[in-house]
Structure 1
Amino acid sequence: MSDAMKHQLDDIALKLRSARDAANRPGATEKDKADLKLIEQDYIAAQQRLSRESASEAKPGNTAKKLDKKLDEALKGTFPASDPVSFVQAAPVKEQDRTLPSVKVAEQQQPGKTAAARKSK
């Protein structure tokens, strides 16, 4: 959690306590009650931002673990051959992509592969 975010949350919490006191005292106006609702919403939004910030800080480590796992699996698949390690797989060609020049060339060069790919759908 960043210091600025924590400071902002503390400031909103202080405003929230003050607004609650104002809205709960005898003779509180509708404006006091409306202000309380707005500050409550602001506080909830700040908590959600803080939660997202914390979650985004945790993701890079998780992504690194996934990458390591994929590389390990790819390495097992190529061992003991001298092929370079790769875990990237080509995306399947969609019907609307078949009009693209690069797809047309691939179909002309390897008609058997592209016909088999169409039948497997």
Structure 2
Amino acid sequence: MHFTSTLLAVVAAVISLTAATPVAEPQGIIASAVELCTSQYLQGRCTTIITPTGTCVEFPQGFHNDVSSVSSLDEWPCNLYHDDHCTSAPYFFDGEQDVLPTHDFNSVICTAPTN
């Protein structure tokens, strides 16, 4: 009888701990968006690409080596790269960049801001 009452007390304690412990909901992939334009001041042909945080995203066809302005639509910090694989020297921007120093960018990595 003592064993049964002890076992019931342990089970009750485990259940109460389990019920009181909050479970974190899965966050999934966090993503932002970047607008690319072929002319300065976000003019000309433009497209918006989705940029999962920390992931190199290659520009779509028609925008390789032909980007003159960009905007991080969520104002995330981003780096532009001249190559397709985000390995060349980066050019940093966040928010709107109306005039880029060159137009021959081909890929981007953005990261969620740390607050």
TM superposition score normalised by structure 2: 0.27
**Greater helix proportion:** 1
Higher Cα Rg, which structure:
1
Higher relative contact order (CA 8 A, sep 6+): 2
TM superposition score normalised by structure 1: 0.26
